[in-house]
C-alpha cells in the first residue's frame, strides 16, 4: 500500500485533495496533516496528524517512522495575505519545501507534489497565452517564493534525481471550501454573496482578466500529474496550467443569466496591482502534450455547478463581512503566534 501524506490538508486545495486521494487509494493510505489540534469532521474517515510544516524534525520523524512514500506539500501563505506578512510568508513557503526535498534526496520519499502558481509571472511577462518558458519577474513575495521554489525543485531533480512534480495553479474555484486569501478569491466570494445578498462588490476592476480553474479539474489534474509515468514529466520546475479565463464583468454576466437581478459593483483595492502583474490567459500545451492534461469545465459549466451547490446558509455568515476580512484575521493571528513562539 502506497502511503501518502498531505501537509496543509485543511486548506482550500487540501481538503478536497485528501478526499479524492482516499477514494483512489483507500482511507488508511492517505494521512491528512495540518496545524489544527483535531481533525475536521470531513476528513475523519482516515488518519490525521497535527503537523507543523516548519518543524523540520517533526516532519522528518513522521515521514521516516511511518514509511511515507509520497508527500503533497500544500502549506503556504497565499498572495494577498503574504503581502501583509512577507517575512513569515517567505519562511513558510520555503522552509517546508527544503525539508521535503531533502527527505527525497536521502531516499525516504519516492515522489513529491509541490504547487506553484501563476504568481511566478510578473508585469514584464507576456500577458496573453503566457508561454511555458518566458520572462518571470514576480512582484509579490508569494510569487518570488514560488519562483525560487520552482528553481529548487528543478535543481533537486537534476542534481539528485528527486521525483518532484509541480503545477502553476491559476485561481481555483470551489463550493466545498472557502478561499484562502488569494487575489483570485473574488471568483469564489461572488457566489456566496450572489446567493445570500444578490449583489457583490468586487475588489478588482470589471475588465481584469485572470486564469481560473474549477476545483474538480484541479484535483483531477493534480492526481493525473502524480500518476503519470516519470518519463512523461519533461518539466521539473512547474507546468503551466489553464482552465478558463474571464473578467469579473464576464463572470457576473454568466451569473446573471442564471440568477436575474444579480448586481455587481467595483471597488478595486491593493489586490488590483497584484492582478495587473499576472497573465490574462495561459498556454498549457506542454502539460497537454506531455501527460495528457485537458480541462473539463469552461466558465459557463463552472458557474452552473457553483450556483447549484453554494450553501446559502453558510454564505449568510459572511453577510456583514467579507471572506477576505475573515481569513486575514485568522491568518494574521496564526502567523504572529508562530513567529512569537519561535522567538521565545
What does the alpha-carbon distance between residue 247 and residue 251 come to, in Å, rounded to a whole number?
6
Is 142 annotated as catalytic?
Answer: yes
| Residue 191, C-beta contacts closer than 8 angstroms, at least 6 positions apart | 175, 255, 306, 307, 310, 315
**Which residues are registered as beta bridge partners of 264?**
200
Q: Catalytic residue, from 48, 142, 175, 327: name it.
A: 142
Q: Which three cell numbers stand for residue 239?
A: 507546468
CA angle 96, 102, 105 (to 5 degrees): 145
Residue with cell 504572529: 336
Looking at the DSSP bridge assignments, the partners of residue 37 are: none
CB 62 within 8 A of CB 68: yes
Backbone angles phi, psi at 110, to 5 degrees: -95, -30
- Distance, in Å, from the CA atom of 245 to the CA atom of 305, rounded to the nearest integer, reads 17
Residue 28: C-alpha distances to residues 11, 21, 24 (Å): 20, 10, 11
Count of Cβ atoms closer than 10 Å to residue 333 Cβ: 10
Helices (H), 129-261: 141-160, 186-196, 215-227, 248-258
285 close to 214: Cβ distance less than 8 angstroms:
no
C-alpha cell at 232: 512523461
Contacting residues for 143 by C-beta, under 8 A, at least 6 apart:
79, 117, 119, 120, 121, 122, 277
First to last CA, the chain: 41
Give the residue numbers marked as catalytic.
142
Amino acid at each position: 500500500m502506497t502511503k501518502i501524506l498531505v501537509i496543509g490538508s485543511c486548506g482550500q486545495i487540501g481538503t478536497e485533495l485528501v478526499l479524492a486521494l482516499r477514494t483512489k487509494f483507500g482511507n488508511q493510505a492517505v494521512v491528512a496533516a495540518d496545524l489544527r489540534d483535531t481533525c475536521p469532521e470531513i476528513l475523519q474517515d482516515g488518519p490525521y496528524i497535527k503537523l507543523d510544516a516548519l518543524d523540520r524534525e517533526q516532519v522528518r520523524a513522521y515521514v521516516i517512522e511511518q514509511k511515507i512514500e509520497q508527500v503533497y506539500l500544500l502549506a503556504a501563505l497565499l498572495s494577498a495575505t503574504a503581502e501583509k506578512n512577507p517575512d513569515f510568508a517567505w519562511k513558510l513557503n520555503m522552509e517546508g519545501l527544503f525539508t521535503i526535498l531533502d527527505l527525497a534526496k536521502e531516499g525516504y520519499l519516492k515522489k513529491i507534489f509541490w504547487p506553484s502558481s501563476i504568481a511566478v509571472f510578473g508585469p514584464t511577462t507576456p500577458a496573453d497565452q503566457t508561454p511555458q518558458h518566458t520572462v518571470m519577474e514576480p512582484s509579490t513575495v508569494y510569487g518570488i517564493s514560488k519562483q525560487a521554489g520552482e528553481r529548487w525543485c528543478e535543481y533537486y531533480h537534476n542534481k539528485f534525481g528527486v521525483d518532484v512534480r509541480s503545477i502553476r495553479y491559476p485561481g481555483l474555484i470551489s463550493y466545498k471550501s472557502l478561499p484562502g486569501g488569494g487575489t483570485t478569491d473574488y471568483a469564489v466570494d461572488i457566489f456566496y454573496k450572489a446567493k445570500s445578498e444578490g449583489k457583490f462588490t468586487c475588489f478588482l476592476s470589471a475588465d481584469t482578466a485572470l486564469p481560473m480553474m474549477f476545483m474538480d479539474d484541479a484535483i483531477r489534474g493534480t492526481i493525473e500529474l502524480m500518476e503519470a509515468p516519470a518519463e512523461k514529466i519533461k518539466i521539473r520546475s512547474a507546468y503551466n496550467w489553464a482552465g478558463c479565463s474571464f473578467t469579473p464583468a464576464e463572470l457576473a454576466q454568466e451569473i446573471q443569466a442564471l440568477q436575474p437581478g444579480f448586481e455587481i459593483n467595483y471597488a478595486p483595492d491593493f489586490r488590483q496591482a497584484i492582478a495587473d502583474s499576472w497573465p490574462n490567459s495561459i498556454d498549457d500545451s506542454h502539460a497537454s502534450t506531455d501527460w495528457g492534461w485537458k480541462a473539463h469545465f469552461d466558465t459557463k459549466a463552472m458557474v452552473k455547478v457553483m450556483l447549484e451547490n453554494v450553501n446559502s446558509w453558510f454564505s449568510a455568515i459572511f453577510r456583514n463581512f467579507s471572506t477576505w476580512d475573515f481569513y486575514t484575521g485568522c491568518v494574521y493571528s496564526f502567523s504572529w503566534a508562530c513567529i512569537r513562539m519561535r522567538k521565545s
